[in-house]
């Protein structure tokens, strides 16, 4: 009998403690996250996880976006503001869940976010967690520069570049649809080629291009968010005719030599000598004298006769 009463008493005490425990649960605010480094592709939704524990029924919830050590409110007093205004939702706070979901994340949302929970009546009044969000951006179509025609033995550089990707893209090159190995000597098909690929800058450099390097070339830019490629372009490698070049040089040298000899001979023969001023002067003087001597002199009688004849009339 006594044992039964004692058992019922102990059961009642246990039940009472269970119901009274929330009243004594004032250990302080505690905040955590299930994902401290979320990664998402641009224009996709992402959730910034924030869960908390507190003895308060009305804790204060705040979210801040930290850019270059400068915190700015994006959620405070029960509403969104700043960069998240009109683009985000918060979870049901009654379930101790203050997670924020961005409906369409953009590259500008990449930043550190801080979830802060405060309760003035708790022994520990404030706790927080920081979440580092990374929004990845797919590369845009790269700009490729491929020379249409080159000669054997030349140093040739092909370029590939794009500026949209985040994080930065890596680059690879393809010839006739087949990916070029990073090191040509590691592949039998390209072992005699002299190219070098810079995966960071997107350049494809041939130190001494050969006939077998002719083909259709295109570049692919790739990062964790995706990839993009430029249109394939043709590059033709022509054999350099050394004999024709040497012959042309010899002909030019001979022509220049003949011109030089001709000018020297003409100068020696006096074709380039100018007539002296004295010669021109004597010639002119002799001409004037010839003119004077050849002109008939008028007779003074003739003049008088004309005068007299006129008088008689």
pLDDT at 123: 85
Calpha distance 53→67 (Å, rounded)? 28
pLDDT at 89: 96
Largest CA distance in the chain: 201
pLDDT at 10: 55
pTM above 0.75, yes or no: no
Please give the chain's pLDDT, 313 residues, in tens: 555 555 565 555 444 444 444 444 457 899 999 999 999 999 999 999 999 999 888 899 999 999 988 999 999 999 999 999 999 999 977 789 999 999 999 999 999 999 999 998 888 899 999 999 999 999 999 999 999 999 999 999 999 999 999 999 999 999 999 999 988 988 888 888 999 999 999 999 999 999 999 999 999 999 999 999 999 999 999 986 555 566 777 777 788 878 888 777 777 777 766 554 444 444 444 444 444 444 455 544 444 444 444 434 3
β-strand pairing of 195-198 with 203-206: antiparallel
How many residues comprise the chain?
313
pLDDT at 245: 66
Q: Which residues pair with 137 in a beta bridge?
A: 166
pLDDT at 166: 94
Cβ atoms < 10 Å from Cβ of 88: 22
pLDDT at 294: 46
Q: For the chain, how far is it from start to end, CA to CA, in angstroms?
A: 199
Task: Please list, in sequence order, all residues whose beta carbon lies within 8 angstroms of the beta carbon of residue 218, skipping any fewer than 6 positions away.
Answer: 144, 173, 174, 229, 230, 231, 232, 233
Task: Please list, in sequence order, all residues whose beta carbon lies within 8 angstroms of the beta carbon of residue 248, skipping any fewer than 6 positions away.
Answer: none
Q: Please report where in the chains the tokens 């801040």 appear, as a residue.
A: 64
pLDDT at 268: 72
User: Phi/psi class of residue 175: alpha, beta or left (left: φ > 0; alpha: ψ in -120 to 50)?
Assistant: beta
């Amino acid at each position: 009998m006594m044992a039964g009463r004692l058992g019922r008493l102990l059961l009642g005490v246990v039940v009472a403690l269970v119901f009274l425990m929330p009243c004594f649960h004032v250990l302080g605010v505690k905040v955590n996250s299930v994902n401290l480094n979320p990664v998402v592709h641009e224009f996709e939704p992402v959730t910034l996880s924030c869960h908390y524990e507190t003895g308060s029924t009305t804790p204060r919830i705040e979210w801040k976006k930290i850019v270059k050590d400068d915190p700015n409110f994006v959620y405070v007093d029960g509403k969104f503001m700043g960069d998240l205004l009109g683009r985000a939702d918060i979870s049901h706070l009654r379930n101790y869940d203050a997670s924020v979901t961005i409906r369409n994340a953009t590259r500008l949302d990449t930043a550190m976010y801080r979830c802060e929970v405060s309760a003035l009546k708790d022994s520990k009044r404030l706790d927080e967690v920081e979440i580092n969000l990374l929004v990845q951006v797919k590369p845009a179509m790269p700009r490729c520069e491929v020379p249409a025609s080159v000669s054997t033995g030349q140093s040739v550089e092909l370029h590939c570049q794009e500026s949209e990707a985040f994080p930065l893209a890596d680059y690879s090159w393809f010839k006739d649809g087949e990916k070029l190995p990073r090191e040509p000597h590691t592949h039998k098909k390209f072992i005699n080629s002299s190219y070098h690929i810079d995966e960071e800058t997107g350049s494809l450099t041939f130190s001494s291009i050969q006939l077998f390097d002719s083909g259709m070339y295109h570049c692919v830019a790739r990062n964790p968010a995706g990839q993009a490629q430029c249109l394939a372009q043709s590059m033709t490698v022509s054999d350099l005719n050394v004999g024709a070049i040497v012959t042309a040089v010899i002909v030019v040298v001979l022509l220049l030599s003949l011109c030089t000899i001709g000018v020297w001979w003409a100068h020696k023969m006096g074709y380039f000598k100018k007539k002296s001023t004295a010669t021109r002067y004597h010639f002119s003087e002799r001409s004037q004298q010839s003119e004077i001597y050849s002109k008939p002199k008028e007779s003074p009688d003739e003049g008088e006769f004309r005068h007299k004849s006129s008088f008689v009339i």
